[in-house]
Amino acid sequence: MNINRLVGIVCLLGALMSSIGCDSQPASKYPVDKPLPVFGVSKMVDGLLVQHSIPSFSFVNQDSNQVSEKDFDGKIYIADFFFSTCPDICPMMSAQMVRVYEAFEDNEKVAILSHSLDPEYDTPAVLKDYASKLGVQAPKWNMVTGYSRRFISEFGQSNYLVTAKEDEGAPKGILHSGHFLLVDKDRKIRGLYDGTTEREVNMLIHDIKRLLNEE
Amino acid sequence: MINKRIFGLVLIGLTLFACEDQSKKQIGELHKQVMDLHDVVMAEYGSLEKMGFQLKDSLAALNEAGTADETTLSTFHAAIQQNEKGIEGMNNWMRGFDQKYEEKGPEKAVTYLKEQLVEMEKVKKDFDEATQAAKAILE
C-alpha cells in the first residue's frame, strides 16, 4: 500500500468518526420529532383543562427596580435559584449562565431571571455587585430579591418544582440543585437542565433556539 | 567552584518548587473536604427549611386550638430554635467564607481551610441535630 493511499484511508476514517462517533452530544435534551415538553400537572379551571404555568410575581432586581411577569411578556426566559454567597455550585452555575447571556445578548426575546434564596443577605446592592463581577446587566439578566425566605422557597417549590410525567427525572430539592428552567412566553416550563455542566447548558442554548423557532 | 554554586541554586529551586507543589496539593485536598461537607448540607437545606415552616405552622395551629400542654409546646419551640440555628449556621458560614482565600498565600490558605473545615463540621452537626429534632415531631 503506498503512502498516499494510507493517508487517504486515515483521513476518511477521521471524517467518519467525527460525523458519527466522536461528536456524541445530543443537540437537544428532548426528542426533536415533537415540540418541547410542557412540565407540570394540568388543572381543571371552570371546566377547562389548564396547563401549569408560572403565576404573576413582583420582585426587586439588582437595580432596585420592580420586576414582574409583565417584564417577560412575549419573551422566553431561563429561571434559576441561587445564593450569592454559595462557594461551590453557584459560581459554576453563574459561569454557565453567562454563556447563555452572551449567546442571546442581542436577542430581545430571551431573558434570564435568577432568584436569590438568601433575600435577607442578598440586597439589591449585593446583587448589583454580584452582577457587575459577572459583567451582566438588567433587564437581560434580572437577579431578584425583595421577599421572605419562606415566600421564595414555597414559590419555587410549588411553581418551578413541578411534578408531571415529563418531570420524573427531576431531582429532589431542585431549588438547591443548580438547575436551569426554560420558560416559554406563556410562562410554561419547557425544559430542565443541570446548570453546572457545559454539556447540559449547550443543550439549553440549543433548545432556546428551538423554542424561539417554535413560537 | 561555579559548578557547585549552580548546583546549590538548582537544589534550592527544586526544594522550593517541591514545597509549593506540596502546599497546592494540601490546599486542594482541604478545599475538597470543606466543599464535600458543604454539598452534603446543601442537598438537605431545602428539606430542613421546609420542615422549619411546617413546625411553625403546626405550633401556630396548636396555639390557636389551645389544647397542647406545656411539654408539647416547649418541644416545638426547641425544634424551631434548632431549625433556625441549623439554617442560619449554614447561611452565616457561606456569607463569611472568603472565596479568595488563596490570595492569602499558601501557608495562610492552609490554616484558613483547616479552620473552615472545623466550622463546616460544626454546621453539619447542628444541621443533622435540627433535622432529627424536626423529624421526631413531624414524622
Is A151 at the interface with chain B, CB within 8 A? no
Q: What share of chain B is helix, strand, coil (3-state, %, to 5)?
A: 90, 0, 10
**DSSP one-letter code for A35:** P
What residue of B is the nearest CA neighbor of A173? Answer: B46
Q: Do B95 and A85 touch (CB under 8 A)?
A: yes
Distance, in Å, from the CA atom of B117 to the CA atom of A196, rounded to the nearest integer, reads 24
Q: Do B46 and A150 touch (CB under 8 A)?
A: no
Instruction: Yes or no: say if A76 and A211 are a contact pair by the CB < 8 Å rule.
Output: yes
Distance, in Å, from the CA atom of A140 to the CA atom of A113, rounded to the nearest integer, reads 9
Phi, psi of A82 (to 5 degrees): -155, 165
A178: left (phi over 0), alpha (psi -120 to 50) or beta: left
ipTM for this prediction? 0.77
User: Is residue A86 helix, strand or coil?
Assistant: coil
pLDDT digits (tens, 9 = 90+) for B74-116: 999 999 999 999 999 999 999 999 989 999 999 999 999 999 9
pLDDT digits (tens, 9 = 90+) for B2-26: 677 776 666 666 665 666 677 889 9
B contacts of A121 (beta carbons < 8 Å): 91, 95
A contacts of B48 (beta carbons < 8 Å): none
Q: Which of 120-139 (A) contact B at CB < 8 A?
A: 120-121
Q: Going residue by residue through chain A (215 aa), what tens digit of pLDDT does each one get?
A: 565 665 556 545 555 544 444 445 679 888 888 899 988 878 888 888 888 899 999 999 999 999 999 999 999 999 999 999 988 888 889 999 999 999 999 999 999 999 999 999 999 999 999 999 999 999 999 999 999 999 999 999 889 875 434 444 444 456 677 899 999 999 999 999 999 999 999 999 999 999 999 86
pLDDT number for residue A176: 72
pLDDT digits (tens, 9 = 90+) for B108-120: 999 999 999 999 9
Q: What angle do CA A20, A26, A27 make, to 5 degrees?
A: 110
Pick from A85, A89, A173: CB nearest B46: A173
Q: From residue A58, how far is each of A70, A75, A151, A198, B97 by CA, in Å?
A: 9, 17, 12, 31, 31
A contacts of B91 (beta carbons < 8 Å): 83, 85, 118, 120-121
B contacts of A118 (beta carbons < 8 Å): 91, 94-95
Grid coordinates given for A176:
438547591
- Given pLDDT bands bounded at 50, 70 and 90, which one contains residue B57? very high
Answer with the residue of higher pLDDT: A14 or B68. B68
pLDDT number for residue B7: 66
Q: Are strands A43-45 and A48-50 parallel, antiparallel or unpaired?
A: antiparallel
Grid coordinates given for A92:
459554576
User: Is residue B90 helix, strand or coil?
Assistant: helix
pLDDT number for residue A185: 96
Q: Do B53 and A153 touch (CB under 8 A)?
A: yes
In the block, which residue shows the cell 478545599?
B31
A contacts of B97 (beta carbons < 8 Å): 85, 87
Q: Do A149 and B38 touch (CB under 8 A)?
A: no
What are the strands, taking DSSP E only, across A93-169? 110-116, 141-145
Distance, in Å, from the CA atom of A202 to the CA atom of A88, rounded to the nearest integer, reads 21
A contacts of B45 (beta carbons < 8 Å): 173, 176
Q: What is the pTM (predicted TM-score) of this model? A: 0.82
Number of residue pairs across A and B with CB atoms under 8 Å? 45
